[in-house]
Amino acid sequence: MEDFLPIKKVDHLEFYVGNARQAAHYYRTGFGFTVTAYSGLETGSRDRASYVVEQGHIRFVLSTALGPDHPMARHTHLHGDGVGVIALEVPDAASAYRESTRRGATGAIPPTREEDEHGVLSYSAIHAYGDTLIKFVDRSNYRGVFAPGYEARNGAAEGGVGTNAGGNGRHKGLGLAHIDHMVGNVELGAMDRWVKFFAETMGFAQLQHFDDKDISTEYSALMSKVMQDGSGKVKFPINEPAEGKKKSQVQEYLDYYYGPGVQHIALSTGDIIDTVSRLRDNGIEFLRVPSTYYEALEGRVGKIDEPVDKLADLGILVDRDDEGYLLQIFTKPVEDRPTLFFEIIERHGSRGFGKGNFKSLFEAIELEQARRGNL
């Protein structure tokens, strides 16, 4: 079947935040990103400031409104800091818009072309869950550092056509390399509607299915389905709360984000022990599972390359399936509201999401929820 919405890769994620300058500092000194471009009053942007930060092939844009009436200001007021835009690089932004809206997506930004001395950047956007936009970006005719209106920072140079697409891998930072997956939390009963949305309007296929038997502890029940694009490069798991004894972790998110949105972003590394050690040194806080998790680890997951004592030291989790194993760890929420957090993941063949860890992990999350008075 022909792919009506081909995707090259994740182009960037844009976070709407209360103070982009301070957020850029956090992602730089905490997570090891480099600021590569800036747009604000000094570059002629009158109503917003944005910092582009890059590491490996990961690119985030941290944006803040300069006044109270800007849509970003309203987004931040309602949701707190969070992901406003998931941008995907496509060969044709007008076609992506046409094909997705024809299949039922609601348009947000009709096909638009912006031009400067570095070429033409084309984009469009549709509405996804909550107030989140999915943006289609075609940068095949653009050589600038990020987009018209942005100036390079820290020696980020204008390249050949397309060389800046999706982060160019030059900024090694702490070894974070790619966005592995982006998880959305939606309301009770809405998961299947969003599964249908990604299938019908974007041509994604369902990868795996966990039901509440797989991922419920005594309290923190949820259901999850994973949607991915034709190439397997873009993965969107979608969670909804399930009825449990007490408040689901997904419901806690929905209550504090005031609606659906991006729950966590998984970033891949080739050396999770080194990356997580350095993240911890920089003050990034992670969830902790009980030390008993490591007692029977090799019995559960078999032989792995990494020393178990080192993993236990850092709190890194392991899971194995038919195809291989993976190592993963989750940060605590990265803002005061218990909303967005990050996952650090290293894959050794496994294409799963750490199903075997759900129980221990959710028990650790519940401990945090209880401390917040939200269980």
Nearer to Fe ion, 122 or 263 (CB): 263
DSSP assignment of 1-69? ---SS---EEEEEEEE-S-HHHHHHHHHHTT--EEEEEESGGGT-SSEEEEEEEETTEEEEEEEESSTT
The 166-205 contact track toward Fe ion, x by CB under 5 A, reads ----------------------------------------
| Stretch in the footprint of Fe ion (CB under 5 A) among 65-73, 127-135, 212-220, 341-349 | 341-349
> Could you tell me if 75 and 131 are in contact, meaning their C-beta atoms sit under 8 angstroms apart?
yes
| Stretch in the footprint of Fe ion (CB under 5 A) among 7-15, 132-140, 266-274, 289-297 | 266-274
Nearer to Fe ion, 138 or 343 (CB): 343
- Phi-psi category of residue 368: left, alpha or beta, with phi > 0 → left and psi -120 to 50 → alpha: alpha
| Stretch in the footprint of Fe ion (CB under 5 A) among 9-17, 70-78, 210-218, 265-273 | 265-273
Nearest approach in angstroms of CB 122 to Fe ion is 31
DSSP assignment of 300-350? HH---SS-HHHHHHHT-EEEEETTEEEEEEEBPPSSSSS--EEEEEEEEB-
| Stretch in the footprint of Fe ion (CB under 5 A) among 103-111, 128-136, 262-270, 318-326 | 262-270
Nearer to Fe ion, 136 or 325 (CB): 325
- Count of other CB atoms within 10 angstroms of residue 359: 17
| Stretch in the footprint of Fe ion (CB under 5 A) among 74-82, 196-204, 210-218, 339-347 | 339-347
- Helix pair angle (191-202, 93-102), 10° resolution: 130
Here the tokens at position 122 are 């084309």
Nearer to Fe ion, 229 or 343 (CB): 343
Give CA separation, 173 vs 31, 83, 232, 271, 306, in Å. 8, 22, 26, 12, 22
Nearer to Fe ion, 240 or 343 (CB): 343
Nearest approach in angstroms of CB 343 to Fe ion is 4
Nearest approach in angstroms of CB 184 to Fe ion is 11
266 binds Fe ion (CB under 5 A): yes
> Could you tell me if 365 and 287 are in contact, meaning their C-beta atoms sit under 8 angstroms apart?
yes
| Stretch in the footprint of Fe ion (CB under 5 A) among 16-24, 185-193, 247-255, 336-344 | 336-344
Nearest approach in angstroms of CB 35 to Fe ion is 26
> Could you tell me if 150 and 38 are in contact, meaning their C-beta atoms sit under 8 angstroms apart?
yes
Nearer to Fe ion, 25 or 355 (CB): 355
User: Given candidates 11, 252, 319, 343, which one binds Fe ion under the rule CB under 5 A?
Assistant: 343
Nearer to Fe ion, 12 or 181 (CB): 181
Cα atoms in the 13 Å half-sphere on the side-chain side of 44 = 4
Nearer to Fe ion, 81 or 343 (CB): 343
The 291-330 contact track toward Fe ion, x by CB under 5 A, reads ----------------------------------------
- Helix pair angle (249-257, 358-371), 10° resolution: 50
Nearest approach in angstroms of CB 52 to Fe ion is 24
Give CA separation, 199 vs 192, 230, 261, in Å. 10, 10, 18
Give residues in contact with Fe ion (CB under 5 A): 266, 343
